[in-house]
Amino acid sequence: MAMDADLIKDLILEGIPDCEVTISDLRGDGDHYAAHVISSAFAGKSRIQQHQMVYAALKGKMGNDLHALAIQTSTPE
């Protein structure tokens, strides 16, 4: 089942309130997305820890409602 890009964005914003999120539908099928998440909360954390924060914000939907999500994280410049 496809998941709406706006729902993905809303979940990430709820879980990481200070972030900026851009969601792209990679194939136009509602199943393969890319997320670019920028947050000061990522400062001092490893890339793995940053991605874990994004996965946690998705509240278990990754692998279930959401088939594929390529994640890019960074801190504000």
pLDDT digits (tens, 9 = 90+) for 45-60: 999 999 999 999 998 7
User: How many C-beta atoms surround the C-beta of residue 71 within 10 A?
Assistant: 18
Buried/exposed code over 7-19 (b: 16+ C-beta within 10 A; e: otherwise): ebbebbeebbeeb
SS3 14: helix
Q: pLDDT by residue (tens digit) across 2-31? A: 788 999 999 999 999 999 999 999 988 777
Q: Looking at the 3D structure of the chain, how many domains does it have? A: 1
Instruction: Give me 35's structure tokens.
Output: 């997320």
Residue 30, domain extent: 5-74
CATH number at residue 54: 3.30.300.90
